[in-house]
Structure 1
Amino acid sequence: MTTSRPVTFSVLDLASITMGSTPAVSLRNSLDLAQHAEKWGYHRFWLAEHHNMPGIASSATSVVIGHVAAGTTTIRVGSGGIMLPNHAPLVIAEQFGTLESLFPNRIDLGLGRAPGSDQAASRVLRRGLEAGGEDFPELLNELRSYFNPSGAAIHNAVRAIPGEGLNIPIWLLGSSGFSAQLAGRLGLPFAFASHFAPDYLLPALELYRSNFRPSEALDKPYAMVGVSVTAADTEQEAKRLATSQQQAFLNMIRGRFSQLPPPVDSMDDLWSPHEEAALRKQFGYAVVGNPEQVNTRLQAVIDETDADELIIASQIFDHGARLRSFEIIADVRERLIRK
């Protein structure tokens, strides 16, 4: 059955650095994309924390959020996400308290427990902190207490200023059941990265909804689903554009992180049958096609997941083609709303 319920659309930007380009260009393009996304009616624009990756420019995520928020006026801007075990909770409370003070009612704090990096970078980042994210619930509790004016006493009267007393929406992000259950028990909104772990999408959403307890933040579950989308005016062009992301993932599973490669006409000479099967499984929820195909597939994702919101990731080599992809997706959203 096709749902008639309107679904919010947002943007997840990985601030991709394309081959032959620089982080400076990538960050300018991120702001340009955010400005277009605001014009096209997207609700929020999130950036992700990654480290030691030559193809991603958003490692200093809070700084980039400030850059994007300063260059836009209405779109919500936030993290998708901050990898909390990499940081002292007080520092994140201060950073996002500062962002919220500068850009009131526009900042989201999405949190994950993965390192957002390889093992070498994780060791450097976390030093004496636990490496596996097992302490994530305790870190989350500490972080939330800094926003609560009566919570500072829990931590020897250390206060987050700016931060204390501010209402900054906290989201839990995940690609497994751990954060889904925790978000449900705490009554927080939950975002699942189906572009990372498609097999766990539906089980994680079920865990979240079945464990949900109403809270001050939410009276009912609110689920966001991350979807990789490559849209173009023709199916052939969309498939060609999607090969950049496919090549990047192929390099990753081969242990070689790279800048985002230019598209190719065919992947047949680049992957083995085993690698092709792995990529097709990984991109099981990826949407690639012309406007009609994108409309059909996104409607199917909404129907299957009952998502309240879709957050769209789109790793496309050419910035103009990426803008066109998000413009097509915005048009599709308007068509879905009118149904």
Structure 2
Amino acid sequence: MTAYSLLDLVPVLEGGTVSQSLANAADLAQHAERLGFRRYWTAEHHGMAGIASAATSVVLGHIAAATSTIRVGAGGIMLPNHAPLAIAEQFGTLDALFPGRIDLGLGRAPGSDQRVAHAMRRNLQSDSNAFPRDVLELQSYFADDGQTGITATPGAGANVDLWILGSSTFGAQLAAALGLPYAFASHFAPDSLMSALAIYRRDFQPSAALDRPHVMAGFNIFAANTDAEAELLASSQQQSFVALRTGNPGKLKPPVEGYRQSLGAQGQQILDHVLQCSAVGSPVTVARGIAAFVERTGVDEIMVTSAIYDHEARKRSLEITADVMAEFKVAA
């Protein structure tokens, strides 16, 4: 059966503050925990006024402290921005504080534009083998197998579940070779979803971490009592996608009635493409969308995303999602 989890980018609202966003994140995670979501993940982004999760491990400590049972993790840490030892120490610390609850998804994108990436890394020298090597080095620190000659403290022996993230076939190949679970970013980059899943499942090598393939895929859900209400709520995220793809990212804006219909051809094409993996509407509409996505992909987990301006409406959307999953007898 298909599990369900939550990806929260900790949006900063237009007219709001980072402090408010972080408080909302903790409340949302508590809400998701009560509703039976398996995981709460946030992600590393830098230099973006509308996202408050740049210091990802710090935010995860805040979330884990506010909850008690839900798994908490990064979806993901952009490993090229960091020394693997530093990430081993950070997530080893999280595991020591919240044992058995920490996930670590690893990606190779910068989580920013090139200017911000340079500020993060100090150089942009490219090596296609660097990411796989860094993943192996990080695994070595957690395993404390002596291969690096360094003991990560905290980190050595930590029970952190590693995932490989991706929006292309590269991550699928790496996850399969290492025998790790794989998460695909279909909520904003759907093009290679099916080919990546096929490669991962075909080439998967069992490991000490995992004996068979395990796939999670991002899926946008904006649920409300009616289709019209859900469409209105979704317009905040739609504005964000259009702004990002046209080089003008910012804070999450209030919903706009008829926003999508007001766009020109370019804006319509952006949304038609980026939101292919989405369900927007009433409980019945959302149920149909989830069922079709699961049937098409066969994913083991859905990673629900939903940037909704009104916090209570966002919580209500998660309630409807959980109810729909229960009706489908989908596992938490």
Q: With structure 2 as the length reference, what TM-score do the two structures score?
A: 0.97
Q: CA deviation at 1:238?
A: 0.3
Q: CA offset at residue 287 of structure 1?
A: 1.0
Identity %: 52
Relative to structure 1, is the Cα distance of residues 269 and 238 closer, same or farther in structure 2, using a 3 angstrom cutoff?
Answer: closer
Equivalent in 220, 224, 234 of residue 216 of structure 2: 224
How many residues align structurally?
Answer: 331
SS of structure 2 residue aligned to 1:54: coil
Deviation at 1:338, TM superposition (A): 7.1
Question: What residue is the counterpart of 1:170 in the other structure?
Answer: 162
Instruction: Give the SS at the match of 2:21.
Output: helix
CA gap of 1:111–1:268, structure 2 versus 1, over 3 A, is closer
The amino acid across from 2:48 in the alignment is M
Is the 2:253–2:309 Cα contact (8 Å) retained in structure 1?
Answer: yes
Residue number among 265, 268, 278 corresponding to 1:276 in the alignment? 268
Judged with a 3 Å threshold, the aligned counterparts in structure 2 of structure 1 residues 303 and 21 are, in CA distance, closer, same or farther, namely same
Q: Deviation string for 1:144-195 (max 9, x for gaps)? A: 11011223xx32x221111101221100000000000110111000000101
Structure-2 change in CA distance of 1:140 and 1:180 (3 Å): same
1:33-82 C-alpha deviation (Å, 9 max, x unpaired): 00000000000100110000000000000000000000100000000000
For residue 308 of structure 2, the aligned residue among 316, 330, 334 is 316
How big is each residue's C-alpha offset from its partner over 1:233-258, in whole Å with a ceiling of 9 and x where there is no partner? 10000001111011111111211111
- Give 5+ residue unaligned stretches, structure 2: none
Question: Counterpart in 1 of 2:120?
Answer: 125
Instruction: Establish whether residue 213 from structure 1 lines up as the match of residue 209 from structure 2.
Output: no
1:36 maps to 2:12: no
Give the structure 1 partner of residue 15 of structure 2: 20
Q: Which residue of 1 aligns with 2:174?
A: 182
Question: Where does residue 283 of structure 2 map in the other structure?
Answer: 291
Matching residue within 47, 60, 81 for 1:65: 60
Aligned with residue 198 of structure 1, among 187, 190, 200: 190
Equivalent residue, structure 2, for 1:3: none
The 1:278/1:129 distance shift into structure 2, 3 A limit, reads closer
Q: Kindly provide the CA deviation profile for residues 118-165 of structure 1, in whole angstroms up to 9, marking residues without a partner as x.
A: 1111011111363576510011111111011223xx32x221111101
**Mind listing any 5+ residue stretches in structure 1 that lack a counterpart?**
1-5
1:80 is aligned, of 61, 69, 75, to 75
Match of residue 89, structure 2, among 88, 94, 99: 94
Counterpart selection for 2:142 from 121, 139, 147: 147
Q: Deviations over 1:100-121 (max 9, x none)?
A: 0000000001110000111111
3-state SS in 2 of match to 1:198: coil
Q: Secondary structure at the match of 1:258?
A: coil
C-alpha offsets along residues 307-335 of structure 1, whole Å, 9 cap, x if unaligned?
A: 10011010100001000000100001100
Name the amino acid aligned to 2:209. Answer: A
Q: Which of 226, 248, 272 is matched with 2:240 structurally?
A: 248
User: Whole-Å Cα distance in 1 between the matches of residues 33 and 322 of structure 2?
Assistant: 11
Conservation of the 8 A alpha-carbon contact between 2:242 and 2:270: no
Q: Which residue of 2 aligns with 1:326?
A: 318
* Contact 1:85 1:129 (C-alpha < 8 Å) held by counterparts: no
Corresponding residue SS for 2:329: helix
- The root-mean-square deviation of aligned C-alpha atoms, in Å, is 1.4
